[in-house]
Chain A
Amino acid sequence: MQETPPLPDVPLFERLDREEREELGELLEPVSFGPGEMLIEEGKKDEKLYVLTSGTVEVYKQVIPRRDQLLATIEAPSVVGEMGLLTEPRAAASVVAKTAVKAHGIQRDRFLSMLDAESPAAYKVVYELGRTLAGRMSRTDDSIAKIIPQLECANRRGSRDLNIFQDKLIEEWSF
């Protein structure tokens, strides 16, 4: 029997009791990345989520084709790749190590099997992920509210596509 790696001390695992920590610990694969190494590649299947325990990563996306744009800088402790757990497993952006990074990988499939089996440990983790998403949704709503007057200015200059965009933004509102 191999010794279970200790569960990293991150908010995501805060609610877990000892037994649940051991259960989840079996899924964790310790991994480290050097500066410039890619954790997640845009457009590829998102097979893992990573719990970052030290270091900094950058999130890039080809907003304009063939031109990577820096979207965010994320410092440990944090999680990347969690959207793949909750939606389609196709990475919307790339995640690249900016410094040396220590992380724990969790296989998407194994985690989803735990959820299917109604494992309390997995549910508790998803609850914390949900709380993170709720915060993000709220900030996104604020950003969109600020952008709408600008879109309307552009619309008055005759950009029909923006009207459609604006309607779609409003449809996706969550409150």
Chain B
Amino acid sequence: MTGNGLRQIKFFEFLTDEERREFEEEAELVVFEPGETFIEEGSRPSSLYVLTSGRVEVWKLIPGSGNRLLATIDASEERTVVGERGLLGDSGASATVRAKGEVEAIRIPRSTFRRMISEGRPAAFKLSYRIARTLARRLTRLDEEVVEAIRDLERRGETDLDAFRDKLVTDWTV
């Protein structure tokens, strides 16, 4: 395998070969030991990782109820992208990602991506378009789920409805 290969990764499919090569040149190959944390909740925005082998766990701190396992991702089934929001956002990561066994990944550091943006490189802007679309789809689906849940609570006469509604439906974008 050509180490930094981004070729067969869905997330990078929309780039031309040339643009993919630009990212391959900037990307770093990284190996994580079992138990190693490479995205830490709250600390800072993450870099983007393409997981190429191994398994990772995604943990999230739930207020009043401790750390919760949100997901286990097996990269040997399909190469998976994590941390993409960190390239665009300024707030800290909202979950912790930890290697379960040995994990290999391709890292596009946030600082590298930001430099490519300030250099005005089209490849970086195209990737940000891809990330923006991913975020928009997720937000739209979340909004739909929230509305469904509120309607459901209303039908059953739940009393916590107002608190629930205020918490979830405060940051709407159209």
Which of A2-10, A25-33, A133-141 touches B?
A133-141
Known contacts A83-B174, A172-B145, A173-B70; decide if A126 and B89 are in contact (CB<8 Å).
no
Report yes or no: A135 in contact with B129, Cβ–Cβ below 8 A: no
Q: Which residue of A lies closest to B64 (CB)?
A: A149
Q: How far is the CB of A148 from chain B (nearest CB, A)?
A: 5
A133 contacts across to B, CB distance below 8 A: 88, 132, 135-136, 139, 173
Does B61 sit within 8 A of A, measured CB to CB? yes
Cβ–Cβ < 8 Å partners of A123 in chain B: 122, 125-126, 128-129
Nearest opposing residue in chain B for A147, CB measure? B167
* Bound-state Cα–Cα, A173 to B172, Å: 17
Chain B residues with Cβ below 8 Å from A161 are 149, 152
- Cross-chain contact B168 with A137 (CB below 8 angstroms): no
Which of B3-11, B28-36, B158-166 is the contact stretch?
B158-166
Tell me whether A175 and B46 are in contact in the complex, defined as CB-CB below 8 angstroms, given that A61-B147, A80-B174 are known contacts: yes
Is residue A159 contacting chain B, with contact meaning CB distance below 8 A? yes
Contacts of B90 in A (CB 8 A): 131, 134-135
* Cβ 8 A contact of B172, one of A71, A126, A141: A71
Interface size on A, residues (CB 8 A): 63
What are the residues of chain A within 8 A of B75 when measuring CB–CB? none
Known: A87-B136, A93-B174. A135 touches B91 (CB 8 A): yes
Q: How many residues belonging to B are interface residues under a CB distance threshold of 8 Å?
A: 71
The docked-state distance in angstroms from the alpha carbon of A133 to that of B172 is 10
Contacting residues of chain A (44-82) with chain B, CB-CB under 8 angstroms: 46, 59, 61, 63-65, 69, 71-72, 80-82
Interface string of A113-142 (1 = CB under 8 A from B): 001001010011011011111111111111
Those of B70-91 within 8 Å (CB) of chain A: 70-71, 82-86, 88-91
B169–A71 CB distance below 8 A? yes
B99 at the interface (CB under 8 A from A): no
Whole-angstrom distance between the alpha carbons of A92 and B174 in the complex?
6
B138 touches A172 (CB 8 A): yes
Chain A interface residues toward B at CB < 8 A = 40, 46, 59, 61, 63-65, 69, 71-72, 80-83, 86-88, 91-93, 95, 115, 118, 120, 123-124, 126-127, 129-150, 152, 154, 159, 161-162, 165, 168-170, 172-175
Interface residues of B (CB under 8 A from A): 39, 41, 46, 58, 60-65, 68, 70-71, 82-86, 88-95, 97, 117, 120, 122, 125-126, 128-129, 131-145, 147-154, 156, 158, 160, 163-165, 167-174
| Given A91-B174, A126-B128, A172-B142, 17 extra CB contacts under 8 A | A65-B151, A71-B170, A92-B174, A123-B128, A126-B132, A127-B125, A130-B132, A135-B89, A136-B135, A143-B167, A148-B68, A150-B164, A154-B158, A165-B149, A169-B145, A172-B141, A175-B41
